[in-house]
Amino acid sequence: MASKAVFVLAALVLNAYGASAVDPLVSVNITAPDGSAKASIMPFGATTTNFWVKDKDGNFRDIILGFDNHSLYQSQADGHPYFGPVVGRYANRIRNGTFTIPISKDASGPGKKFQIVENENNGTDTLHGGLVGYDQRPWNLDAHTANSVTFTLVDPNGDQGFPGTVVTTITYTLEAKATWKISMVAFADELTPIMLSCHHYWNLEAYQETQDLVGHFAQFEASKYVGTNGLLIPTGELLSVEGTPLDFRTAKSIGDAIPGTAEGQFCGTGSSNTAAALDLTTAGSTTTPPSRSPSFSMWSVNSGIKLEVTTDQVALQVYSCNGVDSPTLPIPRKVDQGGPEQVYTDHSCVVIEQESYIDGINNPEFPIRPQIFGPLRPYTWDSTYVFSIL
């Protein structure tokens, strides 16, 4: 009953004091104790707006995409790219916006069926929690120190169609040697699906040397990827990466791998964005706790910046920004990334999402524990990002 007690306490505290008296669009700053990294994070969406680390010449670069004008995170005047927030209550896609508890194949079983707000593909599936996901809500600023900040969000019962009230807390901490730790925990007062992730867009060059990903290399142990249909909805299959452009078990250029994904339609069909790499991959063990060794490594041979990610999650989605550029809604880059004259273009950045298998609530054949959480089973998510120089 400890989880239930913590949930009740968190809800009572937030109800008593309400949201913190801060502008949700104003970032707070944190700095590593040794000055090796700096970040700016705002309450709206618990969104990371800026992240600075040193390049091979010792100069700081802001390597996270975003908006200089923070109102654009809220207004979506330049589209909805999910720049830097927490995504939830359920990250990624839900087939038909439906699921059952207990879970069943494509919500066809005898459990209680739920209909979630559908906000993608002409209203045929749910993406990142619905029309108003966690990225579009002001979080409560709970604590802020020189190198750490904590936010909390209360997601009420029935919002976007999800059952139960969920209280989520996230803590961002910068430690020495450019180490960034992110920890999330969520408590629900009844059974409900929860899958969270951070949705950071990275360009390790801050667009200074190139405008593509040819100079970005990656390596990660993932022998399988999640098979999907033309709308990127999982079929329930785990397919081998052997012989495909998605095989990054040996380091290679991300940009060079992108053209090879078009023929295999790894990013969906019927779209002008088929020539994108790594949209869906899996990493880590599915039967035992994931290894704490780096799950994902990426580096730029131009800036010399290297990123290693360690996580407790069993899956990894890598999105190569195949839908960032829109002729009707060009997104201006931040000033310190060459904007506003220059815009963010397709295949010029990488999103790394650590999470469970997407749409696992509709695919019970996946070799993972059910993605249903409640009073006796809290949800946890932990990742560590270590930046270094080649």
Tell me which amino acid residue 193 is: P
- The one catalytic residue in 128, 199, 200, 347 is 199
Q: Is 199 a catalytic residue?
A: yes
Tokens of 259: 């053209």
Q: Which of 118, 205, 308, 353 is catalytic?
A: 353
Is 144 in the active site? Answer: no
Residue labelled with tokens 């992108």: 258
**Neighbour-count burial of 274, counting CB atoms closer than 10 A to its CB (0-12 exposed, 13-18 middle, 19+ buried):** middle
Helix (H) or strand (E) holding 72: helix 71-75
Three-state secondary structure string covering 279-300: CCEECCCCCCCCCCCCCEEEEE
CA-CA distances (angstroms) from residue 348 to 46, 254, 335?
24, 10, 16
Q: Which two tokens stand for residue 136?
A: 């579009």
Pick from 120, 121, 98, 102: nearest CA to 112: 102
Residue 213, Cβ neighbours under 10 Å: how many? 26
Q: Do residues 32 and 51 lie in contact, with contact meaning Cβ atoms separated by under 8 Å?
A: no
CA atoms of 158 and 145, how far apart (whole Å)? 34
Supply 66's token pair. Answer: 């975003």
Q: List the catalytic residues.
A: 199, 353
